[in-house]
Amino acid sequence: MKLRKFLTISCLCFTALQTFGCGPYSYEPSDYYLFRLTPDTDIYNLNKDTWDYYAKRNQDIVNLNITEWQKLVGSNAKSNDVYEVVYKYLETDIARIESLFGKAKSKDTLLRNSFVQHIVRVKDKQALEYLLFAKMCERYRGISIDDWDYPSAEDLKEQEEMLNLIMQKASTIKQNRFSDRYAFQALRAAFTFQNWDLCLKLWNENFEPMKPCSIRTLAEDYIGGLYYRKGDYVKALSYFARTDLNPQNYKCCLSKINEKFTMEEAFAIIYKHDCNALALQYLLQTYGTALETNRSWESYNEPCYLCSVKKSFHALEPAKQKQYMDLHSFCLKAAKDNQVANRAMWQYSAAFISLMCGDIEAAKQETKAGQQMKPNENLSDKLHILYVITEAAGSSFEQQNEQALLQNLRWFEQKIKVNLPKEMTKKGHIEGSFGNWSTYYYNDMLRKLLLGIVIPKYIAEGKNLKTLLLTGYTTELIANLSGYRKHSQEWNEDFSTDIFVMMDTMPVADVQEYVATIYGNSSDSLINYLSSFCYKNKDYYNELIGTKLMREERFTEAAACFEQVKKSYWTSMNIYPYFTYPIFDDANLIRRTSINPKWDYKLKYAQEMSRLKSQMLIMQPSEEKAAVLYRYSLGLIAAEHKFSLTKYGKDCYISYSIYQGNDSVSSEKIDRLLAEAGDMTKDKELSAKCLVARMKMKDAEISDNYWGDNDKKRGKAISKSLYGTLAKLIETKFADTRTFEMLSAQCDTYDLYRQIIYQKR
């Protein structure tokens, strides 16, 4: 039960280093993104190589256009000067140039530009007319496509009229050095108006017959956009593949994949144009990530970690399965093509798709084949990680497999150490981790392997010691390598880590064995290796084991553990500020009275509960035993509902709670002890106190179940519950007690109960 609770609630989903008071992240290590074609950390955007390629590709078009301009006007002007005039000058700047004709010696700042000097010297009005026309086109077209522009009806009419004039004028100019460029402006205006017929007419008459040049390439990209808008994604992709100006164009087309336009067909179009196009790598990464993203949102009725392998690697719904298996077939074909420079990339992609579609054995064999293709260092690492994960997903962990696991853990350790980001060694942690990935791939993959696959198998096989050791290793490896514990922390953060959650849900005997193991020596090499990284802090373990013992009412053993914890450690804990309220004070049943925190709060509590339990077990029924039963019950109530005595997740800075059900003393047992004390005593005051204590417990239960509901609904629930029965009893038999007087004066729940009763009457 406890392990199911651990798997369901904690999901082992904290980061290895950063722990927050607001609780764990909402993702699981089984959902960490595995597929990574490049060393880059950001899998959503272009990797550096692809980004650099497309930046250069677009700059090449700009440079070609500048060269063409130099030829058109017969100028040897500097390229930078041509760029300034064509790309940077405003309409007002262009308009001023004609006023400088015949004034070559003017001190106007425009004449500092060598391209302007040439135009002024030869009085090239044709060039100026086109430049002015192009700048006007940019202005009106820019306004029309601006998402933030909300024009008035008059402004909209003016824009449409101007764009129509531009389209008409540009399409009629024929005998001119710049006629092709006018036609390009007409094409852009026609595209803005979605006049597809005119766009195609301009393309067929002006650009398709043209030799390769900057204007033809840019026009071809617009025609690709035209076919995309018309829904002909095959043609659109063909045009985009030829221009290759923006990888997002491919992504838009592939987002329209359906039964008539398959993923394999889409990749084949780009591949045919250039089998080594970086766009192919970008698209493989995009669709690999999408496959993992969709998988992470699927839900299962089983506790997540008991079905983590099933959850991560299984067949998709039929249409998706076919799409990805088509792509899988294409990847395998590309991996065999000797014209392809990076065949291992395609083999890795095929193996990943097999794994995500549920064929673990095929993924394993395809990964092995990829490792034989002499991949670069980056892909070699990725193939090794994929192989380790496929092997772990399909294996049980006997002695032989554990030795292989040890070798792989050592490999991960070295990779993490060698590639450790500099900011981690400075600050001791990774900043900016979110979603299902962090800034550090190798550690994420180690966590995916262990927390997502290996540890659930160990849990299922009942190997609790190695489960704890693997979890402790996973939590502490990067902390050790980054020097995390050398950096001062305002609070002790060790109570929101994977190993804490695992220890806190394991039987206490297993935790004690774990602690003895990490401080000892073993003949098992895997155990020794894992132990060397696990967190060593006897104060931490004594406090945690003592707390677990108290949940089982083993208070004498708990006190012995707490006695070994130093004062400085108690005060470092997140829950220390809550070591305040008097536990055994009757007033706590009505209104709590705060005191200053006491470092030995839990120790004194354990000692007192140990004394009370010993007396309770040997005493015969009597007034004294009734008083002991009552006081012992108060202690159990305090541990169950407040004061952070046996809980880290209630009344403390960590707002999530993992303690539910039978993780602590049941409320039924406490109610039974209080009822026994009330029946045993003849002291009306003590009997009333027992009744009020039972009422408060039922109040807490109702408050949890009806949290957020209105008072009327909550009040009705109170009146129908055991609370109502007990309230009637205290009213009829103990109305003359001081306890009842305090209840009537200070208890909001009782007041609400009374309101409901009066309404019924």
Q: Could you report the per-residue pLDDT of 225-283, keeping only the tens digit for each?
A: 999 999 999 999 999 999 999 888 888 888 887 767 788 888 999 999 999 988 899 88
Residue that terminates a domain, selected from 532, 565, 598: 565
Q: Are residues 619 and 748 in the same domain?
A: no
Going by the DSSP 8-state scheme, the letter that residue 1 receives in this structure is -
Percent of the chain residues topping a pLDDT of 90: 41
Could you tell me if residue 395 is inside a domain?
no
The last residue of one of the domains, among 545, 565, 585, is 565
Is 388 domain-assigned? Answer: no
Distance CA 21, CA 196 (A): 58
712 or 332, higher pLDDT: 332
Residues 555/546, Cβ–Cβ less than 8 Å = no
**516, 547, 565 - which closes a domain:** 565
Is residue 690 located within the same domain as residue 721? no
| Whether residue 739 sits in one domain with residue 668 | no
Above 60 in pLDDT, residue 494? yes
Question: What is the number of domains present in the chain?
Answer: 4
Structural domain including 175 reads 48-383
Q: What is the mean pLDDT of residues 111-129?
A: 93
Q: What is the reported pLDDT for 553?
A: 93
Given pLDDT bands bounded at 50, 70 and 90, which one contains residue 385?
very high
Segment 526-559, tens digit of pLDDT:
999 999 999 999 999 999 999 999 989 999 999 9
397: confidence class by pLDDT, cuts 50, 70, 90: low
Within a domain: 721: yes
Q: What is the pLDDT of residue 590?
A: 46
Cross-strand bridge partners of residue 261: 258
- Cβ neighbours, 10 Å, residue 200: 16
Answer yes or no: do 555 and 643 share one domain. Answer: no
| One domain, residues 537 and 578 | no
pLDDT at 734: 85
Average confidence (pLDDT) over 506-522: 94
More confident residue, 543 or 437: 543
Tell me how far apart the alpha carbons of residues 748 and 587 are, in angstroms, rounded to a whole number. Answer: 15
Q: What is the pLDDT of residue 427?
A: 52
Cβ-based burial of 97 (10 A; exposed 0-12, middle 13-18, buried ≥19): buried
Let me know if residue 147 belongs to a domain. yes
- Residue 400 falls inside a structural domain: no
For residues 460 and 541, membership in a common domain is answered with yes
* Whether 434 contacts 3, CB under 8 Å: no
Q: Do residues 9 and 16 make contact, with C-beta atoms less than 8 angstroms apart?
A: no
Which range is least confidently modeled, 340-354, 369-383, 475-489, 505-519?
475-489
The per-residue pLDDT for 289 is: 85
Q: Are 34 and 352 in contact (CB under 8 A)?
A: yes
Within-domain flag for 734: yes
In the prediction, which pLDDT does 481 show?
81
How far is the C-alpha of 350 from the C-alpha of 339, rounded, in Å?
18
Q: What is the pLDDT of residue 419?
A: 82
Say if residue 196 is in the same domain as residue 290: yes
42 pLDDT band, cuts 50/70/90, is: low
Residues 29 and 76 in one domain: no
Record the tokens describing residue 667, joined without a space.
């409320």
Torsion of CA 146, 150, 155, 156, to 10 degrees: 70
Percent of the chain having pLDDT more than 70? Answer: 76
Q: What is the pLDDT of residue 436?
A: 45
The pLDDT of residue 586:
65
Q: What is the mean pLDDT of residues 84-108?
A: 88
Residue 463 and residue 476 in one domain? yes
d(CA 580, CA 604): 12
Per residue in 58-81, pLDDT tens?
Answer: 999 999 999 999 999 998 899 999
Q: How confident is the model at residue 13 (pLDDT cuts 50, 70, 90)?
A: very low
CA-nearest of 658, 670, 660, 653 to 704 is 660
- Identify whether 326 is part of a domain: yes
Average pLDDT, the chain: 80
Q: For residues 510 and 530, give the distance between their C-alpha atoms in angstroms, rounded to a whole number.
A: 16
pLDDT confidence bin for 656, thresholds 50/70/90: very low
pLDDT of residue 154: 75
- From its phi and psi, is residue 151 left (phi > 0), alpha (psi between -120 and 50) or beta? beta
Average pLDDT over residues 21-43: 63
What is the C-alpha to C-alpha distance for residues 274 and 276, in angstroms, rounded to an integer? 5
Nearest to 71 by CA among 167, 180, 207, 173: 180
Question: pLDDT for 314-357, tens place per residue?
Answer: 777 888 888 899 999 999 999 999 999 999 999 999 999 999 98
Q: Read off the amino acid at residue 88.
A: K
CA 471 from centroid of its chain's CA atoms: 20
Instruction: Tell me the pLDDT band of 661, cut-offs 50, 70 and 90.
Output: very low
Which pLDDT score is estimated for 50? 77
Note if the pTM is more than 0.75.
yes
Separation between Cα atoms, residue 196 and residue 202, nearest integer Å: 10
Give the helix ranges, DSSP H, for 318-431. Answer: 318-335, 343-356, 360-371, 377-393, 399-418, 422-427
Mean pLDDT of 191-206: 90
Look up residue 401 and give its two tokens.
């497999």
Question: Quick one: pLDDT at residue 79?
Answer: 95
138-178 pLDDT, tens digit per residue, is: 877 766 555 555 666 776 677 677 777 777 777 677 778 89
Domain for residue 234, yes or no? yes
pLDDT-based confidence at 299, cuts 50/70/90?
very low
Helix, strand, coil percent values for the chain (each to nearest 5): 70, 0, 30
**Tokens of residue 416, six digits:** 């993490």
- When pLDDT is averaged across residues 180-207 and rounded to a whole number, the result is 90
Cβ neighbors of 62 (< 8 A, separation 6 or more) are 83, 87, 214
Secondary structure (3-state) at 569: helix
Q: Do residue 304 and residue 335 come from a single domain?
A: yes
- The per-residue pLDDT for 309 is 53
Check whether residue 286 and residue 365 sit in a common domain. Answer: yes
Q: Same structural domain for residues 668 and 705?
A: no
Instruction: For residue 11, name the pLDDT band (cuts at 50, 70, 90).
Output: very low
